[in-house]
Amino acid sequence: MNGNGNGEEQAESLLKFPDTYHIKAMGRNEGDLLARVRALVAAHAPDLPDEAFACRASRDGNYLSVTCTLVAESREQLDAIYRALSTDEAIMLVL
């Protein structure tokens, strides 16, 4: 580190916008996790097509991961999506 900023500023400089990002939300394979993720993301990126979302069940089928691929327009938009997903009780992990 060069001493002219903190680690957060350096990490932020690695992100560019607009750019394509893949956000993965994981939770138990109960209810409709895909619909929950779609609704939470749609509040911040309303024009995403169904093809922007992909699901994958764990080997035993107990867990489900939903990956959303989107072109984020700003750091604020990306942060808002991560916050929305992270605060939902059905979602255990967001990457």
Is 27 within a domain? yes
Rg of the Cα atoms in the chain: 15
| Preceding peptide of 49 cis, ω within 30° | no
pTM for the model stands at: 0.85
| Domains identified in the chain, total number | 1
Mean pLDDT of 9-14: 64
Q: Measured between alpha carbons, how far is 72 from 82 in angstroms, rounded to an integer?
A: 12
More confident residue, 73 or 11: 73
Domain CATH code at residue 70: 3.30.70.260
Answer whether residue 10 is part of any domain.
no
Structure confidence at residue 14 (pLDDT): 86
Q: Residue 38 is part of which domain span?
A: 16-94
How does 41-70 read in b/e, with b if 16+ C-beta sit within 10 Å?
Answer: beebbeebeeebbeeeeeeeeebbbbbbeb
**Residue 22 and residue 66: Cα distance in Å, rounded?**
10
* pLDDT recorded at residue 1: 44
The 10s digit of each residue's pLDDT in 29-83 is: 998 999 999 999 999 999 999 999 999 999 999 999 999 999 999 999 999 999 9
Mean pLDDT of 14-31: 95
In a domain, 1, yes or no: no
| Domain assignment present for 74 | yes
Q: Is residue 75 a part of any domain in this protein?
A: yes
Per-residue pLDDT at 17 exceeds 50 = yes
